[in-house]
Structure 1
Amino acid sequence: RDTGGRGGEPMGAVAPVGPRALAILLSCPALVEPQHHETILAKAYSLVEILGSDERAALVAEWAQAPQAQLRHAVRCAHEFIIIAVLENSLSDPIDEPVANAVGALGLLYAASEGSAHALEFSAFTNDAINAELAADETLLRQDHRRWQQANVFSLCAHAFVLEPAAKASVLKLSSMDQMSSEFEGAFFRSMFTRSMHSPFLLLRVRRDHLIRDSLHQLAARAAELKKPLKVHFIGEEGVDEGGVQKEFFHLVVRQLFDPVWGMFIQDDTTREFWFNQNSFESNREFELIGTLIGLAIYNSVILDVRFPHVVYKKLTRRPCGFADLARAFPALAHGLQQVLEHAGDVRELCLTFAVSHEVYGERKVVELIPNGAEVEVTNDNCREYVDKYAEHVLHTSIARQFQAFNTGFSAVCGGPALELFRWEELELLICGNPNLDFEALQRATVYDDGFSAVHPTIELFWEVLHGLEIELKRRFLIFSTGSDRVPINGLGSLQFVISRHGSDESRLPSAHTCFNHLLLPEYKTAEVMRKQLLMAIQDTEGFHIV
C-alpha cells in the first residue's frame, strides 16, 4: 500500500512488512540517528499506522515478549523521532502526520510494556518535547482538547501516556471549566425564562460548629448542582469566597471526617495512612460525602491533605490489587502472611483455617474467606490461596460497603473521560499534590508589586528568613499565604504567587489574600523583625474574617 495512514499524501510504494519484522526494525538502536528518520522511521511508523487490528495485536505481543532492552530501544527511537520533528516544526493544529504516526506506534509500545513481565516505568513514555510545547503555549492544549472531543481525529489527549501529570491536570481543568461554564449558562437562562432564581454556583452555607451536618444536608439537597463552580460561606463571617474560603472548608471538613472520634477510618501504626473502618457504624452517606468532597476538590482545583494508602487510588482507577498492595499498605499484616508462605515445616502446625477473626466493640467476629472456610485447614498446598484470599478480604470484601459509597460520591463529580487520563500514581498526585516543597522554585516564580522587586532589601530578607525555617513552619506559611500547605501537581513554581509592599510600619504583621496567593508584606528592615513578625502571623491560620 502507498498511503500515509491518516489520509495524508502517498509516501511511495513500500513492501508489506510483518509484525515481527517491524518489531525488530523499530527496536534497532542505530535508527536513533537523525539521518535515518525520514528514510526509514517515518515510513515504518506509517506502516504501523495502517496495520489491521490483528496485526497490531501481533506487534504488541512481539514487543511484550521481547527483552526489556529491545523495548527500551524502540521507545527511545520513537521519542527521538518526535523530539526532532517537534523542534524543527513545532506542534501544529492538527498534529503533523509523521508525529501522529510515531505517537501511535509509541502507544503500541506502551500497551506492550503494560503486558510485559519486564515493563518499563510509565514515565519512560512521556515525551519532553511535546510537554515543553504544551507548557509554553496553552492554546495548543486547548486545541488538542477540542480535537479529543471529536470522533476519528488524532489528539494527544487520546494518547495520554506521552503527557506529564501537569499537562493531564490542565486537560482535566479544561474539561471542568467547560462543564462549569455549561452549568453556569444553564442556570442563567433558566432564571431568565422561568423568572425564578437559579444560582450559577454550588453555594454551601455552613456553620463551623456543625460543619459535617451542614455539608451532608446541603450536598444531598444539591446533588444535581455538583458540577457548578463551588462557593463556600461560613455563616456569621465576612469572608468572600474567591478561592481561599473553600480551601479552608476542605481542610476543616476532611480533618473532621478523618478524626478517630468519627470512627470512619483507622490508621495503620506503621505507615500512618488511613483505611476504611470495616466496623464503622456510620451510614453510607458519610462515606459518600468523603468521595464527593474529594471529587469537588479535584473539580475546583483544590489540593487536599488526605493520607490514603496507594491501593485506594488503584481501586478508584479500577486497577487489580493483590498481596503486593497489601504489603505496601499494611506491612505488619503482610509480614505475618509472608511468614506463612515461608514456613519451613508443615503449615498445619500453625493451626490456621480459611477464616479470619477480629474484635468488634468487645465481641469476636469470624469471617470465612471461602465457603465453610472455618472447617478448611491451611496447608503447604493451599497456603498461597489462603494469603491471596486474605488480601482480597482486607482490600475488597471487608470494606465493600464503605468503598462503594465513597466511590459513588467521587464518581458523581469526577466520573468522565478526563479523569481516565490519569494512572493511579498520578491520581494520588492530583488529589494530594506534589510532595516536593521546592521553595527555591517558588522564589523564582514570584511576582512583586507596589514598589517591591526581587532585589529589594526587604524581599531579600524575606527569602533569607523563609528558606531558614523548619519544614513544619514552611507548611504553616503556605497555609497562611495560599490557604493550603499542599503543593500543586506541577510544583510550587507553578503557583501565581505575588508579594506586595504593605507600608513601612514594622509593628504591622504580614497579611494575605489566600484566594489570590497574595502576600502583603510590610517593609521590615532587619532579619530579626522579619522572622518575629512572620512567625506571629502564621501561628493562627484558621478563619478568613481578618483577610
Structure 2
Amino acid sequence: MLNFSGQTKKRVVNLGNRGRPINQTGSKSFLEQSKIQRLQREEQRQREKSGLVLQSHIRRYIDLTNSGEELKLEWISTSGKWHSEQEWAKWLLQFEFLCKWTLTRQPVPELELQLKLVNSSLHEHTFSLTPRQFNSLINSLSVLIEKVDRRKDLANDQKVEITEECIIIIHYLLEQYGTFESSKVPNLISYLSKFIITNQVSKLVKRDVIDMVFKINTHDSPENFLVFLSIPNLFVDSNYGILHLNIIRNTLSSPEVNLDNLGRSALVNLLVNYLTIHGKEEPFVDEDYYFVGSVLDVITFSIQKVDDEYEDEEDYNPKEKAGVGVLPVSSTVIDTIQMLYTSEFTKQAISHFTSKSSDDRLSKAALQIFSTLIFFYPPSKSKLCMLITITPNSYKWFYSKLVSHPIFAAIVKAATEENHDYLKKENLDEVYKFIPDKASIEFFWKAIYTFEELYSYWLIVSNDLESFQDDKLSLEEVSNFLIFLRALCLTLIFFSGISKNYFHQFDKLKSISISLLNQLYMKNLRLRFLPDDFWKPKELTFNIDGLLQIVAEEEEKRISEMDIDEEPNYEEYDSIFNSMNSSNIRRSKVFVASSSDTLAKSEVLKKLPFFIAFKDRVKVFQSLIELDKQRHMNVNPFSFVTSKLQADIRREHLLEDAFNSFHNSGSNFKQSLQVSFFNEYGQEAGIDGGGITKEFLTSVVTEGFNPSNDLHLFKETLSDNQIYPNDDIYKSIHIGKDLEIQQERLLYLKFLGNVVGKCFYENVLIDVSFAPFFLNKWCNDNMKNSINDLNYLDNELFLGLMKLLKMPESELNELDLNFTINEKVDGKNYLFDLLPPNGENIKLSSSNKLSYIHQISNFKLNQSLHIQTKYFLEGLYEIISSTWLSMFDSFELQMLISGGESDVNIADWKENVEYGGYFDDDITIKYFWEVIAEMSAEERFKLIKFVTSVSRAPLLGFGSLSPRFGIRNSGRDIARLPTASTCVNLLKLPDYQDKELIRSKLLYAIYTEARFDLS
C-alpha cells in the first residue's frame, strides 16, 4: 500500500487472532472492525443515493405543482370553449391531473367554485363520455374526496361541503351514464360510507349517496358494497323498492361475498336493512327466503333488547368478528326482526319446507331460517315453535326426513345391530365418505337440531294424554327416535367432533339433545312405555373409583370458588380416598389430568345420570358426603375431642325445642349432635353414640312433616297421601294475613330442610313419602313443574282441565271463566290473578284455553309453592349440595330418602350379621331367623328401626351398614326383653332357645316403643 510519504508498508492481518491479547473489556477484533466499517460505508452510499432520489422527487413535485398552477389557469380559461371532442377530452385529462396535484390544496371557496365549474360544464357540453373517460372521471373525484378527507387544515363541515359537491357530480354521471360493464371504482363506496355512518351529510345528499352506491354496487367490490349494506339505520329516511332488493340479492349471490367476514352487528344490520326495504305489507317471495336464509345461516348468537340506539358511532364496527353470545340491539331492530316471527312468514316458510313441489334450495333456505330463529331472539322462540307445532304433520315431515338419512340410519344401526352405545369417530368418517354431497350432511344436522328444539317445546306444552296424538309422533315413532337420540347424546359427549365441521351450532345441538332426552326420560317415568333395560348401557362401563376422583376434583374447585383463600388439604383427601375402598386412589398436589374418556363419563353422570346404575350413583353420593365430612371435621389435634352441637329436647315439645336449638346452625348442622331426651319422668337413659341422633332426626321428621301438627307446614295429596308444602302459606302472604306467623313457618321449613339434609348426611332413612312434583324441585333447584305433574296433586282437576281442550267455543262461553282462580284461606274465598294485572278481563276462549290450562297448573304447582320450597331448599342445600341431588330423578330421590324396597331382603340380612356369644348354627339363632321369615314386612321394618333407629333396610344392602348389624348373647335370663344399642346397630338377644318365646319377646319389644329405656 502506498502512503503519502512515498514509503511502502506491508499490511499484516492477524488471521489467527494470536499475538496481541484480546481486550478483556470487550474490544472488537480487527476482522469485526473491518466488517463494521464496510457496513458503515455501504450505509453511507445508500443514504447518498436516497438523498438523490428524494431530491429528484422533490424537484418533480415542485415542477408538477408549478405546472399544475399554470395548467389550472389554462383549464379555467378554456372551460366551455371546446370546439371539438378532442378539446373536450383534453380538458377532462387536465381535470384528472389537477385533482391529483393541484385542486386538493386549494382553499375551500376556490375548490367549490372549480367543482361547480365541472358540474355545469358536464351539464352543458354536447359530447358523450367514453367508458374510459367515465371511469377516469369517477376515479378522479374519488381521489379528490380521499385527499380532502386527509387535510388537517380543514374543519369537518368544510370537508363535508366539498364532498357533497363531488357526490353531486358523481351522482349526475351515474344518472346520465349508469355504470359500464368494464368500469371499476375501487373503494369509492368505502369513502362515501364514512359520511353516512357519521351522519355528516344532509338527508337529501344521503339519498343521493345511497342511490349512487346502488348504481356502483359491485363495480367497487362486492365486499365493500356488503359492508355498506350493513350500516345501521341505512334506509330509515327514504322509501326503496324491489329494484334495490334485487341488487342486494344479486350481491349476496356473488362468489366474492363471504358473510363470515362480517361482524355480529353488521350481520344484524344487513338483515334489518333488507327487511326495512322489503316492508311489512309486501308478501315474501322465494328470493326473500333465499336471502334471509343465507344471512341467518352464519349467525351463531342471540340478540336482546336495550333501550338506547348506538350511543357512539365508534361502536359500529362491520369487521368485528362474530362469536357466540348475546348482542344488545335497539328496540327498532327488534321490531324489524319480528317480521321473521310473524305467522305469515312462518307458515309460508313451513309450506316451502314441507311441500313436495318445493325445490331443494328453497327447502334448505327454510331450514336455515328455522334453525337460527329458534335461538336468535329468545322471547319469540315460543311463538315460532307454536306456529310450527299447530301446522298439521310438520313433526312427521321432519321425522320422515330424518329417519331416511344415512347418518340417522348409521347411528341406529350402531345402537341396535352392532350393540354400540354411541358412534365411533371412524364409523362416522366412514358414513361421511358415502355422502359426497356436503350440503346433505349440513342439512341433516340442521334438521335434527331444529326438530329437537321443536319437539322439546311440544313436550313442554302438551300433556301426557295428547303427547302422542296422530299429527305428531306416535308412541312407536317416539320409541324408535329414542334409540337414535340415546346414541346421539352419548356420541356428542364422547366424540365432540361429530358435527363441528358441518354444523357450527354444535354446542346448541348437544345441549338440546341432552335436554330432550331428559324430557323423554321423565315422560317414560310417568307412562312406562320403554323396556326396563332401555337405559342400561350395552358396552359402556363406568369405573366408580375414577368417577369419584373427577367428581371430588370438581367439588374441590367449587369449594375453592366459594372460599378462594382456603388452602386445600391434599393429604386429607388421600386418607379419605383410601378409606372409601377406592383401590387406594392417589392424588398429587396438582389435580391430575384425567383422560377424555373419564371426563366424558363424568359429564354423563352430571347430565344423563340414568345411564349409570342407581346403586353406583348412591355410592358416589355417599362418598361425596364422606369427603365433605372430612373437610368439615373440626378436631383439636391435642385433645382429639370432636366439637358437638348440644341440645336438651323435651318429648312433648320435640319440634319446638329442636328448632330453637338448631335452626340458626346453618351448615354447622353437619357437625355431630349431642342430644338428651326428656320425657315426663325426666331425662331418658342412653349414651349417644349415634343412635340417639338417629332417633332425634327421625322423630323431628315424623312430627315436622305431619300435616296435622300445629304449624300445618305440609299437606298430603288426595290420592297417594304424599307430602308437599302447604300452599296456604303463600296465599296468606299474598293477601297480607298474619305475616309474622308466615315468616315463622318459613323458618321452620328451612330448618326441616336442614334436618332432611342431615338425614342424608348421616345416612338415616326416613319414612316420609314426598310428592314427585315437590321432589322435582330438589333435583333441579326449584325447577318449574309442568301440567303433567298436576296429575299427582289433583287428578280430578287435571282431568277437568283436559276436558277444556275438547270443548267447542259455545261450551267454553257457557263456563264464563277468565284468567283468575278462587282460593280459600281460613274459610274465606280470595281471587288470585293468573295473568296480572288484567287476568279478570281475559275471557276463556278456544284461542287461549291451552294457555289457561298451563296458567292454572303453574299456579298450583309452582307459584303457590315457590316461597315455601325456596326456604326448604335453602336449608337442604346448606347440608347437601344441589349438584349431588341432581344425579337422581324424583322417584330415585324418594328411594334415597326412605329406601327403595317394600320389604327386607332376609338373605342379604343373614349374610351381613356379626354375632357375639352366638354361632350361626345355635338353636336361638336358627329360631330367630325363622321368626324373621314369618314376620310381616311392617314387623321386620319395626325390628330394624328398634336396632338401628331407622325404619328401612340400608339402601345399598346390609353390607353397607356401619357398624354391621350385630346380635349379641345377653344371657339365659328368659324373663328379660331384647334390648338394643342403636349407636352400634346391636341387638342384645337373650338365649331363649324357644321359637314362640323369641317371637313374643321380639314383638313386645318393638311395639312398646320404649325407646332408650330398654337399653
TM-score by length of 1: 0.76
Alignment of 1:125-164 (within 5 A): 125-127=535-537, 134=544, 143=549, 145-146=551-552, 150=591, 153=594, 154-155=598-599, 156-160=601-605, 161=609, 162-164=611-613
The answer to whether 1:336 aligns with 2:787 is no
The answer to whether 1:263 aligns with 2:712 is yes
Q: 1:324 Cα deviation (Å)?
A: 0.9
Task: Say if 1:457 and 1:228 are closer, same or farther in 2 by CA, change over 3 A.
Answer: same
Alignment of 1:359-374 (within 5 A): 359-371=824-836, 372-374=838-840
Task: Say if 1:516 and 1:464 are closer, same or farther in 2 by CA, change over 3 A.
Answer: same
Q: Distance in 2 between matches of 1:188 and 1:23?
A: 62
Counterpart of 2:1000 in structure 1 is 532
The answer to whether 1:377 aligns with 2:762 is no
Of residues 457, 476, 495, the one that matches 2:942 is 476
Counterpart of 2:872 in structure 1 is 406
Matched to 1:328, the amino acid is Y
Of residues 630, 636, 647, the one that matches 1:181 is 630
Alignment of 1:79-90 (within 5 A): none
Q: Distance in 2 between matches of 1:46 and 1:242?
A: 62
* CA deviations over 1:294-317 (Å, ceiling 9, x no partner): 111112211122222101111122
Matched to 1:254, the amino acid is V
Q: Distance in 2 between matches of 1:29 and 1:275?
A: 44
Task: Say if 1:473 and 1:202 are closer, same or farther in 2 by CA, change over 3 A.
Answer: same
Matched to 1:322, the amino acid is S
The answer to whether 1:497 aligns with 2:965 is yes
Counterpart of 1:10 in structure 2 is none
Q: 1:219 Cα deviation (Å)?
A: 2.1
Task: Say if 1:519 and 1:359 are closer, same or farther in 2 by CA, change over 3 A.
Answer: same
Q: Distance in 2 between matches of 1:201 and 1:104?
A: 53
Task: Say if 1:341 and 1:74 are closer, same or farther in 2 by CA, change over 3 A.
Answer: closer
Matched to 1:309, the amino acid is A
Of residues 445, 448, 454, the one that matches 2:911 is 445
Matched to 1:237, the amino acid is E
User: Helix, strand or coil: the match of 1:348?
Assistant: helix
Q: Distance in 2 between matches of 1:212 and 1:359?
A: 28
Q: Distance in 1 between matches of 2:614 and 2:702?
A: 26
Q: 1:367 Cα deviation (Å)?
A: 1.0
Q: Distance in 2 between matches of 1:131 and 1:203?
A: 45
Of residues 223, 227, 232, the one that matches 2:666 is 223
* CA deviations over 1:19-72 (Å, ceiling 9, x no partner): x766543432598669x99xx958449999xxxxx9998798499699643653
Q: 1:383 Cα deviation (Å)?
A: 2.2
Please identify the structure whose Cα radius of gyration is greater: 2
Counterpart of 1:487 in structure 2 is 953
RMSD over aligned Cα atoms: 4.1
User: Helix, strand or coil: the match of 2:857?
Assistant: helix
Contact 1:27 1:77 in 2 (8 A): no
Ranked by relative contact order (alpha carbons within 8 Å, sequence separation 6 or more), the top structure is 1
Task: Say if 1:339 and 1:152 are closer, same or farther in 2 by CA, change over 3 A.
Answer: farther
Counterpart of 1:239 in structure 2 is 686
Of residues 690, 698, 706, the one that matches 1:251 is 698
Counterpart of 2:517 in structure 1 is 113
Counterpart of 2:811 in structure 1 is 346
User: Helix, strand or coil: the match of 1:306?
Assistant: coil
Counterpart of 1:309 in structure 2 is 771
TM-score by length of 2: 0.43
Contact 2:415 2:487 in 1 (8 A): no
Q: Distance in 2 between matches of 1:492 and 1:213?
A: 34
Matched to 2:691, the amino acid is G
Counterpart of 1:290 in structure 2 is 752
Contact 2:648 2:676 in 1 (8 A): yes
User: Helix, strand or coil: the match of 2:1012?
Assistant: coil
Count of residue correspondences: 491
Aligned-pair identity in percent equals: 23
User: Helix, strand or coil: the match of 1:500?
Assistant: strand
Task: Say if 1:237 and 1:126 are closer, same or farther in 2 by CA, change over 3 A.
Answer: farther
Counterpart of 1:27 in structure 2 is 412
Task: Say if 1:330 and 1:454 are closer, same or farther in 2 by CA, change over 3 A.
Answer: farther
Show structure 1 runs of 5+ residues with no match.
1-19, 49-53, 80-97
Matched to 1:524, the amino acid is Y
Counterpart of 2:988 in structure 1 is 520
Contact 2:717 2:723 in 1 (8 A): yes
Matched to 2:660, the amino acid is H
Q: 1:416 Cα deviation (Å)?
A: 4.7
Q: Distance in 2 between matches of 1:209 and 1:294?
A: 21
* CA deviations over 1:274-301 (Å, ceiling 9, x no partner): 2222224442211111111111111221
User: Helix, strand or coil: the match of 2:883?
Assistant: coil
Q: Distance in 1 between matches of 2:671 and 2:792?
A: 37
Task: Say if 1:279 and 1:542 are closer, same or farther in 2 by CA, change over 3 A.
Answer: farther
Q: Distance in 1 between matches of 2:444 and 2:858?
A: 34
Q: Distance in 1 between matches of 2:651 and 2:940?
A: 26
Contact 1:482 1:514 in 2 (8 A): yes
Contact 1:461 1:530 in 2 (8 A): yes
Task: Say if 1:362 and 1:110 are closer, same or farther in 2 by CA, change over 3 A.
Answer: closer
> Which stretch of structure 1 is more off in the superposition, 163-172 or 452-461?
452-461
Counterpart of 1:89 in structure 2 is none
Matched to 2:1000, the amino acid is K
Task: Say if 1:437 and 1:188 are closer, same or farther in 2 by CA, change over 3 A.
Answer: same
Q: 1:393 Cα deviation (Å)?
A: 0.6
Q: 1:536 Cα deviation (Å)?
A: 0.9
User: Helix, strand or coil: the match of 1:226?
Assistant: helix
Q: 1:145 Cα deviation (Å)?
A: 4.6
Counterpart of 2:854 in structure 1 is 388
